[in-house]
Structure 1
Amino acid sequence: METIDRGSAGSARVAIVGGIHGDEPAGVRIVRRLADALDEDGDGTGCIRLIIANERAIKAGTRYTDTDLNRAFPGDADSDEYERALAPRLAAEVDGMDAVLALHTSHSAPPPFAIHSGLTPSVRRTVTGMPVEYVVDASGLRGTTLDSTVPHTVSIEVGRQGSEEAVEFGYEACLAFLRAHGALDDEPPTFTPTTVVEGDEEVPKGGGEPHVHYVNFEEMPEGAVFAEDDVYTHRVTESGVVPILASEHGYEEIFGIYGRVTGTLEQPGSAASDDGEDRVDATEKRAE
């Protein structure tokens, strides 16, 4: 793991993490670009911490070496598995940070989107301060990811794996994240409401040739087949379901995740966000 500290324009302590998965080089390139662009010293009392996480998997060009790092938190420092032992070290590097952003890419189609596992004022500021239309509430899914175990952490899927577009978008999203928390003052932050999609369940993959028929956040009519292979035919049994991380070849065990649009996350300071306090409005909850 490599850690690079840069100066902050404000008092917030923030972190950006790339390279959690070794086959997602965009995050590493974005972190390196930020390290070159940001000043080593800032006018503020805060800190910008840039982290390249899974160096062994990055060198090998594989998602992981022993186990998926983003399924290994909180980890075990005494584990013989490289990533499981790395997880608590990474968590310690971002412990106590006011905001953390984890960079990812996928084999899914655009648009880029954010993911959180617990809404706090910091998370609200991060999500609505970045140029994403959607945020996935993953609090009901896995509890072994960085964003589900480290407070104030947001993950962002910046684009298609291996694409230059992912690098460019991810870099601009990181600058927006830094502005949102006052760590960068080259221009004022921009906050916009973001559509909330609640993650319901993972959609398992079997074997044979996989086929996915809908893209991320596309509403699927009742009775439509979302995905199929030689083992499964996943037919939507009710209306209002949308896919998240939909992919034929991106994951070994799942086609993606089912989700539902549940409302809007309002920007800090708006009436709906209760002037930035951590309050989930009725529009952000699943309708009873």
Structure 2
Amino acid sequence: MQTIDRDSAGSARVAIVGGIHGDEPAGVRIVRRLADELDPLDAAGDDGTADGDGSGNAGSGGLVRLILANEPAIEAGTRYTDADLNRAFPGDADSDEYERALAPRLTAELEGFDAVLALHTSHSAPPPFAIFSDLTESVRRTVTGLPVDHVVDASGLRSTTLDSTIPHTVSVEVGRQGSEEAVEFGYEACLAFLRVHGALPDEPPTFSETVVAKGSEEVPKGGGEPHVHFANFEAIPEGAVFAEDDVYTHRVEEPGVVPILASEDGYDDIFGIYGRVTGVVKPPGEGDLRVYPRGEGDGNGDRDERRDSGAGGND
């Protein structure tokens, strides 16, 4: 793990993590680009780089911490070496599995931070979207300040991911794995993240309502030739087949279901996740810290209508 600390224009301590999965190069490239572009810490005696043991000089004010998490997997170009890091939290420092022992070290690097953004790509179709497990005020600022239309509430899914164990963490799926579009979108998303938390003063932050889809269950994959018939956040008609292979035919028997991380080849054991659009998160200062059911609110009907149409597959 490599930790690189950079200066912040504000007082918040924020972090961006790339390379949780070694075969997702966009996050690695984005972190390295930000490390080159952001100012070094004033208090640092060198370039602000630490070796992952927390020895970077953070000073007394805010900072931006950039992390390349799983260096052996990054070097090998594989998702992981021994275990999926994003399924290994909180981990075990004494484990013989590299990622399971890495997880508590990464946790220590993020302890006490005000906001964390974890970068991911997938084989799933666009659009990019965010993921949270606990809707804190910091998380609200992040998800409504990112240039995404959708955020997934993953609180009912796995409890072993970075965003489910590290407070104030949002994960963002920036695009298709290996694409240049993912790198460019992810970089812009990181700049937006830094702006909304006061770390980057180049321009004012922009906020907007963000549609929430609550993840409910993983959709298992069997074997043979896989087929997925609906894209992310596209409403699946009642009775339609979402995905199928030689083992499973997943027919949706109730209305309101949308796919999340829908992919034929992205995962060995699942086609993706079923979810339901539950409402919207409003920007800071425009409502309470909760998910507002669609149609409830303060007269932003045009914006809600635009996002509702997006949830129907028009992204």
Tell me the TM-score normalised to structure 2 length. Answer: 0.87
Residue identity in the other structure for 2:268: E
Partner of 1:15: 15
Partner of 1:276: none
Q: Is the 8 A contact 1:76 1:85 kept in 2?
A: yes
- Per-residue CA deviations over 1:232-284 (Å, capped at 9, x if unaligned) read 000001010000000000001100000000000000011x23xxxxx324528
Q: Is the 8 A contact 1:17 1:52 kept in 2?
A: yes
Q: Does 1:246 align with 2:230?
A: no
How far apart are 1:24 and its partner, in Å? 0.1
Pick aligned residue for 2:93 from 53, 71, 77: 77
Residue identity in the other structure for 1:20: I
Partner of 2:38: 38
How far apart are 1:99 and its partner, in Å? 0.2
Distance 1:166 1:281 in 2: 28
Structure 2: segments with no counterpart, 5+ residues: 44-59, 295-315
Partner of 1:283: 293
Partner of 2:143: 127
Alignment of 1:175-186 (within 5 A): 175-186=191-202
Distance 1:108 1:94 in 2: 28
Q: Is the 8 A contact 1:8 1:42 kept in 2?
A: no
Tell me the TM-score normalised to structure 1 length. Answer: 0.95
Distance 1:10 1:179 in 2: 10
Residue identity in the other structure for 2:213: V
Other structure's SS at 1:114 match: strand
Q: Is the 8 A contact 1:129 1:176 kept in 2?
A: yes
Partner of 2:218: 202
Other structure's SS at 1:86 match: helix
How far apart are 1:64 and its partner, in Å? 0.6
Q: Does 1:151 align with 2:161?
A: no
Distance 1:42 1:182 in 2: 17
Distance 1:79 1:205 in 2: 29
Alignment of 1:69-108 (within 5 A): 69-108=85-124
Partner of 2:206: 190
Q: Is the 8 A contact 1:7 1:38 kept in 2?
A: yes
Distance 2:77 2:107 in 1: 23
Other structure's SS at 2:200 match: coil
Partner of 1:168: 184
Distance 1:281 1:4 in 2: 35
Other structure's SS at 1:56 match: helix
Partner of 1:28: 28
Other structure's SS at 2:283 match: coil
Alignment of 1:192-231 (within 5 A): 192-231=208-247
Residue identity in the other structure for 2:28: V
Other structure's SS at 2:215 match: strand
How far apart are 1:41 and its partner, in Å? 3.1
Report how many residues are paired: 278
Alignment of 1:113-124 (within 5 A): 113-124=129-140
Residue identity in the other structure for 2:176: R
RMSD: 1.2
Identity fraction in percent? 79
How far apart are 1:45 and its partner, in Å? 1.8
Q: Is the 8 A contact 2:129 2:151 kept in 1?
A: yes
Q: Does 1:259 align with 2:275?
A: yes
How far apart are 1:117 and its partner, in Å? 0.2
Q: Is the 8 A contact 1:9 1:42 kept in 2?
A: no
Residue identity in the other structure for 2:154: A
Structure 1 residues 265 and 281, CA, compared in 2 at 3 Å: closer, same or farther? closer
Residue identity in the other structure for 2:293: T
Q: Is the 8 A contact 1:115 1:136 kept in 2?
A: yes
